[in-house]
Amino acid sequence: MIVKTGIVRDERYLRHETGRFHPESPQRLEAIYEMLDSSDMKGKFVNIKPRYADEDEISAVHSQSYIERVASTSGKKQTFLDPDTETSPESFGIAKLAVGGLLNAIDGVIEGDVNNAFALIRPPGHHAERGRAAGFCIFNNVAVGALHAIRNHRMKKILVVDWDLHHGNGTQNTFYEDPKVLYFSTHQFPFYPGSGSVNEIGRGSGLGYTINVPLRRGPGDAEYLRIFRKILEPVALDYKPDLVLLSAGFDIYYNDPLGGMQVTPAGFRNLVRVLLNIADACSKGRFVVTLEGGYNIQGLRDSVKAVLLEMKGESYQTDETLNDVESQADSGIDTIIQTVIKQIEPTWRVF
């Protein structure tokens, strides 16, 4: 079977300027786009053109007053929305283009134009709250995307996985009482933004539909793979999502300047194979990735390449391969795995 993998890329994303020495720089996408144009990658992927999300779509997640606050920065040289998040003259439009790029990727996958897709966009989104920017994020791309799939495509259950180094507080808070979205996060803890403790598991009808795996610095390929296979996989197969979304932050790369994790490009490839297997089993293969963090430029380039090739089916990892990697995990990771399982067992009787 020939797998059609879509990518969202657009030079306009480079025009969101963040200032000299800011880690979330245009150079991140420049390196990825250069990799896509290399001789061994060129022509492998289906280009998905982005569009500007309209304000009605964005207001599914964000307050009108906040949208107007961001809009007011248009044409201004520099505005700080929070201490870490600044805008340049075109940032409002580019942030709408980031949301719209992910929405078009979701549309393309659900409508069958492509099998899966990766939105290579910026600014990132998972820290953005209903009424405020945070952590380099302006609009919460993945949260708007999940609600778009529910409202426009009648999807009933969405799995959002977030492997970024930093907890996706904005995504969690958007869906904290909503069982239509199962949010699963691995993240360094305690670390920015300070949320994501193991006992944050949702509220009301959403109780048990938020799963946090807070980690001390140090886990690498084998430990992350064990977490995904021992916690996420059984829960997801029981949940049976109609669509799998991934907030892909590559700041858990072993040499990221902001992080303390030890994941390699091969490790990212293995994690995405777990997610693709879930999508194949539950969601007719529907799997869409959006770029979040990742601040080692070479590591970002290599890791995105590994993920894309796995999505394309050109480096397919078997269960036997994954078993070999997982067998190398430090047994210390089992403590947090069992702690998480104990928290969610009342909702998920699959362990």
Token digits of residue 242:
């109609």
Residue 315 has pLDDT above 90, yes or no: no
Residue 287 has pLDDT above 90, yes or no: yes
Answer yes or no: is 192 within a domain: yes
* 3-class state of residue 51 by DSSP: coil
Q: Which domain holds residue 248?
A: 5-344
| pLDDT score at 42 | 96
Residue 1 has pLDDT above 80, yes or no: no
| pLDDT score at 316 | 78
Cα gap 268→307, rounded to integer Å: 6
Look at 18-22, 88-92, 190-194, 304-308 and tell me which has the smallest mean pLDDT.
18-22
Answer yes or no: is 351 within a domain: no
| pLDDT score at 261 | 98
Answer yes or no: is 262 within a domain: yes
What is the rounded average pLDDT of the residues 181-193?
97
CATH code for the domain in which residue 257 is found: 3.40.800.20
Number of domains in the chain: 1
Cβ-proximal residues to 270 (8 Å cutoff; 6+ apart), any chain: 221, 225, 317, 321, 322, 325
Contact 170, 144 (CB under 8 A): no
The two most distant CA atoms of the chain are separated, in Å, by 55
Strand order in the sheet with 158-162: 46-48, 5-8, 116-119, 287-291, 243-248, 158-162, 181-188, 210-215
Answer yes or no: is 37 within a domain: yes
| pLDDT score at 310 | 97
Answer yes or no: is 238 within a domain: yes
- Write out the DSSP string of 244-287: EEEEE-GGGBTT-TT---BB-HHHHHHHHHHHHHHHHHHSTT-E
C-alpha distances (whole Å) from 26 to each of 6, 10, 14 are 21, 12, 5
Answer yes or no: is 350 within a domain: no
Token digits of residue 142:
């993945």
Q: Which residues are catalytic?
A: 127
Answer yes or no: is 157 within a domain: yes
Answer yes or no: is 99 within a domain: yes
| pLDDT score at 209 | 98
Band of pLDDT at residue 302, cut at 50, 70 and 90 = very high
| pLDDT score at 20 | 83
pTM: predicted TM-score of the whole model, two decimal places? 0.98
Q: For the segment 218-271, what is each residue's pLDDT rounded down to a tens digit?
A: 999 999 999 999 999 999 999 999 999 999 999 999 999 999 999 999 999 999
| pLDDT score at 19 | 85
| pLDDT score at 134 | 98
Look at 16-20, 118-122, 166-170, 208-212 and tell me which has the smallest mean pLDDT.
16-20
